[in-house]
Structure 1
Amino acid sequence: MHRPSILRVLASLVILGSTASMLAASPAESIDWVNPLIGTAKGKIGYGGTMPFVTPPFGMTDWTPQTRQNKISVVSYNYDDKTVSGFMGTHQPAIWMGDYGYVTLMPEIGDVKTTPEERKLPFNHAHEVSHPDFYSVVLDAGDGKQIFSEMTATERCGYMRFTFPADTAGRILIEASRPGHAGYVSVDEASHEITGYNPDRMDAHLGPAALKNFKGYFVVQFRQAFQKADTYGMDDAQAGHARGAYASFAPSKGKLTVEVRVGTSFISVDQARANLKEEIPEWNFEKVRLALRQTWNAKLDRIEVQGASDEARRTVYTAAYHALLYPRVFSEYGRYYSAFDDTIHNGESYTSYSIWDTFRAENSMLTLLAPERVDGMITALLQDYREGGWMPKWPNPGYTNIMIATHADSLVAEAFRKGFHGFDRELAWKAVYKDAMTPPDGDTTRRWADREPHTPYEARAGLTYYKELGYIPTDKTAEAASSTLEDSYDDWCVAQVAKALGKEKDYEFFLHRSLNYRNLYNPADGLMRGKTSDGKWASEDAGWTEGNAWVYTWAPLHDEAGILNLMGGASAYNAKLDQHFAGGHNVHNNEPSHHYGYLYDFSGEPWKTQAKVREIAAAEYAGQPVGLDGDDDCGQMSAWYLFTALGLYPVNPASGDYMIGSPLFSRMSLRLANGKRFTVIADNNSSANVYIQSATLNGKPLSNPVIRYEDIMAGSTLHFVMGPKPSHWAAEWRAKAIQ
């Protein structure tokens, strides 16, 4: 029987300290500033949509305590819950998406309890510790008995350790599937192993493919020999029940510690076992945790902040943690399962791109914090195109048809603009050209409603009309007005790819077509408005996606100067923005509003941008469980904060331009992958001194509220002097129209 060492016991006593006391101490390393519980609670700021994952950056499988049964619109952990019903290897990337191929483990004493309601145990946040490399909690098993549960992880595997009371038999339950779902599990007592698979895809109804070969495979290995092991729910008579297995362990005179390692795969059980052998070759929990800790520090150490309160510093590093979770790795040592043709391929793959959200700032942040991943991420999108016919909007892990437009075009254009070359550039052109020119199947016979089940891939819904009329009519296609505006931006992105490849005629064509958004400007009210197929203005609320005319009027990211001209000049543009904010139309918890605070930069009133972005940051982010507006949308909410903390934001991410806001701290820097350091210094910075009085870039006066990607990558120093009143710094600068 394996027994914990005296060092382990001492470490456990430290871990049992309250989360609050640990956070109050002075963290020794960057990872210690991360609080994965931020965003998990419902409160003034958020609604509880993130999960406290133990996983490396971009990990294939995330490990989290389960306080409720997750599903579309419900995540597995909520800070307000009082019980834990499992410890889960999940692939659910966001609250509005479903999970797939998941596996759940739960420690028990007493009778076998297979349902979540039966097996749940109370816990207290005072005995809970959450870090990116480690999670632990004390579970109240009744009659004064407690089960101490710990987790750490690797890219595709989890490592758990459960400590049971003295003189008490322990049990580990493995749930392969939930009631009403298929699944399989098998016990091999000789090898101390339980294997199985879970074919559930909660979003299966949203895509065109059945994916008959899809399974989330797992291998669960125990360090100790079983006293008893068995399956449950596997016979036909119990088909409506959950399916799984359990392993029981004999009591010990001292506390019983059971160690468990779990390999996951989307290729096979054998591959899950191989992943375990590669990533956790020995039984050494502390070694695995230390490796994960070092992996996170290597990334988080690239951010340095001075002049921040402890809470603000915690917000910064937790935002970086969130921004480095997605897209997730989906390949397994040179092979991957494709959810686009339902077969296995050689190569590298990623999934969980929430592209409608993340193209705005998250992807741009990855080009700075994780540039070594960008070529692989673009290649993965191109493989999806090759295997399924299109680059996806929201792969989870296959087509889901969620949201509008084809903003993978923006990711490709941004990679071209920033000089990434490790992907097939001609294949990239074919993919973006198809997005721009080929309507989806049944384009004129479908409404393409949001989350419409069992449809062909949506691509640019209504493209047939867009090509004919210069806009998408609201009486023919759902979300038509929003799609027209966002398709115009994607046309601009396709034009940039064409230009980079020397395709001058295509460049001119798509650049001109990117002005189609102008067809929806209604001078009568100074806002964009949907149109019907006969050219008439639609009703005010027709044709929008998660918003209205106020939310979408400034959506064409590529031509704010053009919008300014449509409105009649800078004064009218600024007045309309003033109305937007005063009227409560800027809903920051949804992405279409994310760039709005920065728009005064384009129209000669940058001091309003400086005040507004500070206001939004203070209202929407904090270093507490309620400190994020719930749904982080795969890092986009967090990327907005990181850029805003630096004093920058990529309003048009594929342009390589970063508009200047108001830096949150006296000094913040990024250590870049090329060995250089980009530093932002803000003298006299405070919560009152939000206004830029003067600025220099590498010691030279900066008179425009914009810097370029090249300025960052060169390792520049951006130096501001801040003050309590607006100044006329950069007030003379105006954006130029695209033509």
Structure 2
Amino acid sequence: MRLSAAASDFMCLQQRATLLFLSPFGGALLAALVLLPVLHVRAQKTAIDEVNVYVGTGKGAIGYGGTMPFVTPPFGMTDWTPQTRQNKISVTSYEYSDPAISGFMGTHQPAIWMGDYGYVALMPELDELKTSPEARKLPFTHADEIAHPDYYSVSMQAGKSRRIRTEMTATDHCAYLRFTFPANESSLVMVEAARPGVPGFAHVDAAANEITGYNPDRMDAHLGPLKLSHFKGYFVVQFRKAFQGSGTYGMEPAQAGSAIGAYAKFKTAEGEIVEARVGTSFISIEQARENLKLEIPDWDFKAVQLKLRQTWNEKLERVSIEGATEDQRKIIYSGLYHALLYPRLFSEHGHYYSAFDDTVHAGESYTAYSIWDTFRAEHSLLTLIAPERIDGMIQALLQDYKEGGWMPKWPNPSYTNIMIGTHADSLVAEAVQKHFHGFDYQLAWDAVYKDAMTPPDGDTTRRWADREPHTPYEARAGLTYLKTLGYIPTDKTAEAASSTLEDSYDDWCVAQLAKALGKNKEYEYFLHRSLNYQNLFNKATGFMQGKRSDGSWANPDEGWTEGTTWVYTWAVMHDIPGLIDLMGGRDNYNARLDEHFAGNHNVHSNEPSHHYGYLYDYSGQPWKTQAKVREIAAAEYANLPGGIDGDDDCGQMSAWYIFTAFGFYPVNPASGDYMIGSPLFRRMSLRLTNGKTFSVSTENNSAKNVYIQSVTLNGKPLTTPVLRFDDIEAGASLKMVMGPAPSRWAADWKPVSISDASKR
């Protein structure tokens, strides 16, 4: 076991060994010193020790997940990470291959292709102040790091055989940092408030040992319609040790255009620790200070870290595994860690700043919903492992609707117009289907009905290109045409073919909410409109294909979003039986699906393909689903920095693996149904918040025995490849007998299409 896997359990020993770490040979000496405590801690390893926060942080043979090694609580508002590069849209703060650190950052960047906002960074330094990222970089190696969700530390080379050690732990809105310095007349902590070109602010109150400030930067501000004049990310940094000197930089008129920040200077003895508490807020500096008072009232780093450790273990230990290898356990718990980061909290002890009307409100709020990605499985996973958050997350979307006019599709923290469809409709419908009641159903109906019926401003005069700057809120681009033609034409609207198909699914979701509210006329209307996907099926080719406004077929490669006709032909999540009928029956459907996989058209690194491995369940060949999902899981995930094939996208890639490991997946998440695949392990259990336990256990499970021979649910034979949410919530026991060859289990199940159901 590596030293880092148990470090947080012997913090006192670390403190006694600080002088060793500060020597050139400190790492090896400390490793020898703590060998016995490490072995002792290993026997008491808990779920958080199974998390590898490096998974997804580096490029490798499988892929690059675009993740960062965050120290933060589940759904924490501000994430804390070592900063190896200046992040921006398409660049994260930490990349595993980087050799130096330039800061320790409170960031709100949720995914690699989204921007940051309201950030703050601290950096310990020696001798003189260095404000630019290049000048302040200090080399390190991964052997110098200890990284967990509750604790991070690193020993950096500071020149002249000196080292500086930084440690971090965190709460929902705050962080606690410790800097261990060598003996030095001028040891500094720099606080970067804003980057060059950003009109930030920094202030020093030396009498209070405090640095405060803010920045109004929103890297994605150009992608949405709103100008937020009151938006700022505020911070308060409090030091335990009195300043020997201090000051600000970049604040003078002559320094316009430079970075902005402040610093505190200390005289330190060998191995002396300088402690700092950082409060963050989007409401005010006073609220950042209040967040600190409420969350880190005392100078007790260990207490804060232990509380965060307990918080993570409570969530992670809701899932237990038997029969997994060490690497598989780490993939599972690292995936749970990633899935439990988003959506992130955006309220502060009963109040929140709204990035939709630029004012402060009472209540609870969340942001960072990567909905085009996460509606598929991430949110479905949260209904099982974090159901206590669902009502607040849905209500937050409805508050956004009240304050900004629409539910957002990718709030970061305001509208960004990224991706297509209005899949917040799916989140709302799923919550209603799964009996969550802590939000306003009528307000939810108003919001989804507007999505489905109101075209965005300028709908027929704009192309709505991806990432087009300064547009009105996009909502369902091309809805004007869809309401008259039954599809969105490729010659009028960008990404029209994909939008037609995804809008069909969203219409099905709106229909489900109408049904739940007893709105029968609206239910029938939207259920019928959810069949619009049929208008893009080209019977001559057997593929989905875009259409022009005159009704002619577009070029087969035209009109898609991050995919091709091969990808989107299978996008009918709400009516797979109807797609089977369009293709001429099961035989043709299965032959085309075989061709899809054989031709390497299944791109698991991007979300539209995530449910495709489960599609054989619908067509009488569930054994192919069992083999295919095992194959994908083995090929696309590893316990490595490059162990996720494609951006994790706020937990969606991780959620796929967790569901697949359990042996089922939400092909249509808003339905409450899960399609059964092939469980990866001997047993997995989910401890539910209602006090019950759901378990999946298998006999004869192995890498070769991937095929289901028989299934029982609570002791009774299950003959359909479908598990219901209500079964899980009741604390069901699902048992499977596995074997090395396909069986006829569930092969005779024939689901009903929407068209057939509506005739009954």
Correspondence 1:579 to 2:595: yes
Q: Which amino acid aligns with 2:264?
A: A
Partner of 1:554: 570
Q: Secondary structure at the match of 1:474?
A: coil
Partners of 2:184 and 2:140 in 1: CA distance: 22
Partners of 2:15 and 2:228 in 1: CA distance: 47
C-alpha displacement at 1:169, in angstroms?
A: 3.1
Q: Secondary structure at the match of 1:38?
A: coil
Correspondence 1:97 to 2:114: yes
Q: Which amino acid aligns with 1:434?
A: K
Assess, with a 3 A threshold, how the Cα gap between structure 1 residues 311 and 6 changes in structure 2: closer, same or farther.
Answer: closer
Given that 1:217 and 1:267 are in contact with CA atoms closer than 8 Å, whether structure 2 keeps it comes out as yes
C-alpha displacement at 1:727, in angstroms?
A: 1.0
Q: Which amino acid aligns with 1:381?
A: L
Partners of 1:683 and 1:502 in 2: CA distance: 45
Partners of 2:268 and 2:382 in 1: CA distance: 49
Partners of 1:25 and 1:108 in 2: CA distance: 35
1:9 to 8, 15, 19: 15
Partner of 1:30: 47
Assess, with a 3 A threshold, how the Cα gap between structure 1 residues 718 and 219 changes in structure 2: closer, same or farther.
Answer: same
C-alpha displacement at 1:168, in angstroms?
A: 5.1
Residues 244-643 of structure 1: pairs in structure 2 closer than 5 A: 244-252=261-269, 254-643=270-659
Partner of 1:241: 258
2:91 to 74, 78, 89: 74
C-alpha displacement at 1:503, in angstroms?
A: 0.2
Given that 2:198 and 2:217 are in contact with CA atoms closer than 8 Å, whether structure 1 keeps it comes out as yes
1:700 to 711, 716, 725: 716
C-alpha displacement at 1:531, in angstroms?
A: 0.1
Given that 2:76 and 2:171 are in contact with CA atoms closer than 8 Å, whether structure 1 keeps it comes out as yes
Deviation by residue 1:680-700 (Cα, 9 ceiling, x = unmatched): 001111111111111111111
Given that 1:40 and 1:630 are in contact with CA atoms closer than 8 Å, whether structure 2 keeps it comes out as no
C-alpha displacement at 1:10, in angstroms?
A: 4.0
Correspondence 1:107 to 2:124: yes
Partner of 1:162: 179
Partners of 1:168 and 1:720 in 2: CA distance: 68
Partner of 2:195: 178
Q: Secondary structure at the match of 1:619?
A: helix
Q: TM-score, normalised by structure 2?
A: 0.95
Q: Secondary structure at the match of 2:158?
A: strand
Partner of 1:220: 237
Given that 1:657 and 1:708 are in contact with CA atoms closer than 8 Å, whether structure 2 keeps it comes out as yes
Partner of 2:75: 58
Q: Secondary structure at the match of 2:640?
A: coil
Assess, with a 3 A threshold, how the Cα gap between structure 1 residues 536 and 195 changes in structure 2: closer, same or farther.
Answer: same
Partner of 1:209: 226
Partner of 2:758: none
Q: Secondary structure at the match of 2:176?
A: strand
Partners of 1:347 and 1:646 in 2: CA distance: 36
Structure 2: 5+ residue stretches without partners: 1-9, 756-760
C-alpha displacement at 1:11, in angstroms?
A: 7.2
Q: Secondary structure at the match of 2:49?
A: helix
Given that 1:47 and 1:626 are in contact with CA atoms closer than 8 Å, whether structure 2 keeps it comes out as yes
1:683 to 690, 699, 705: 699
Assess, with a 3 A threshold, how the Cα gap between structure 1 residues 515 and 378 changes in structure 2: closer, same or farther.
Answer: same
Partners of 2:743 and 2:711 in 1: CA distance: 12
Given that 1:644 and 1:661 are in contact with CA atoms closer than 8 Å, whether structure 2 keeps it comes out as yes
Q: Secondary structure at the match of 1:510?
A: helix
Q: Which amino acid aligns with 1:78?
A: E
Assess, with a 3 A threshold, how the Cα gap between structure 1 residues 539 and 86 changes in structure 2: closer, same or farther.
Answer: same
Q: Which amino acid aligns with 2:130?
A: K
Given that 1:307 and 1:666 are in contact with CA atoms closer than 8 Å, whether structure 2 keeps it comes out as yes
Coordinate RMSD, CA, aligned: 1.6
C-alpha displacement at 1:473, in angstroms?
A: 0.1
Deviation by residue 1:306-347 (Cα, 9 ceiling, x = unmatched): 000000001100100011000000001111000001111111
1:128 to 145, 169, 181: 145
Deviation by residue 1:361-401 (Cα, 9 ceiling, x = unmatched): 00000000111110000000000000000000000000000
Assess, with a 3 A threshold, how the Cα gap between structure 1 residues 124 and 168 changes in structure 2: closer, same or farther.
Answer: farther
Partners of 2:595 and 2:183 in 1: CA distance: 66
Q: Which amino acid aligns with 2:702?
A: S
Deviation by residue 1:566-607 (Cα, 9 ceiling, x = unmatched): 000011111111111111111111000000000000000001
Assess, with a 3 A threshold, how the Cα gap between structure 1 residues 647 and 6 changes in structure 2: closer, same or farther.
Answer: closer
Q: Secondary structure at the match of 1:126?
A: helix
Structure 1: 5+ residue stretches without partners: none
Partners of 2:663 and 2:43 in 1: CA distance: 26
Q: Which amino acid aligns with 1:235?
A: E
1:49 to 66, 78, 83: 66
Given that 1:58 and 1:326 are in contact with CA atoms closer than 8 Å, whether structure 2 keeps it comes out as yes
Q: Which amino acid aligns with 2:456?
A: P
Number of corresponding residues: 734
Q: Percent identity?
A: 71
Q: Secondary structure at the match of 1:142?
A: coil
Partners of 2:538 and 2:366 in 1: CA distance: 41
Partners of 2:268 and 2:408 in 1: CA distance: 52
Given that 2:185 and 2:266 are in contact with CA atoms closer than 8 Å, whether structure 1 keeps it comes out as no
Given that 2:128 and 2:186 are in contact with CA atoms closer than 8 Å, whether structure 1 keeps it comes out as no
Partners of 2:136 and 2:15 in 1: CA distance: 27
Given that 2:236 and 2:285 are in contact with CA atoms closer than 8 Å, whether structure 1 keeps it comes out as yes
Correspondence 1:670 to 2:686: yes
Partner of 2:5: none
Correspondence 1:143 to 2:149: no
Q: Secondary structure at the match of 1:190?
A: helix
Partners of 2:172 and 2:17 in 1: CA distance: 25
Partners of 1:525 and 1:176 in 2: CA distance: 57
Partners of 1:215 and 1:629 in 2: CA distance: 35
Deviation by residue 1:34-61 (Cα, 9 ceiling, x = unmatched): 0111110101112251000000000000
2:101 to 61, 66, 84: 84
Assess, with a 3 A threshold, how the Cα gap between structure 1 residues 11 and 628 changes in structure 2: closer, same or farther.
Answer: farther
C-alpha displacement at 1:239, in angstroms?
A: 1.2
Partners of 1:682 and 1:574 in 2: CA distance: 28
Partners of 1:243 and 1:159 in 2: CA distance: 22
Partners of 2:164 and 2:702 in 1: CA distance: 46
Q: Secondary structure at the match of 1:107?
A: strand
C-alpha displacement at 1:629, in angstroms?
A: 2.3
Q: Secondary structure at the match of 2:348?
A: coil
Partners of 2:378 and 2:673 in 1: CA distance: 15
C-alpha displacement at 1:540, in angstroms?
A: 1.0
Partners of 1:269 and 1:239 in 2: CA distance: 23
Given that 1:50 and 1:630 are in contact with CA atoms closer than 8 Å, whether structure 2 keeps it comes out as no
C-alpha displacement at 1:166, in angstroms?
A: 2.6
Partners of 1:46 and 1:152 in 2: CA distance: 29
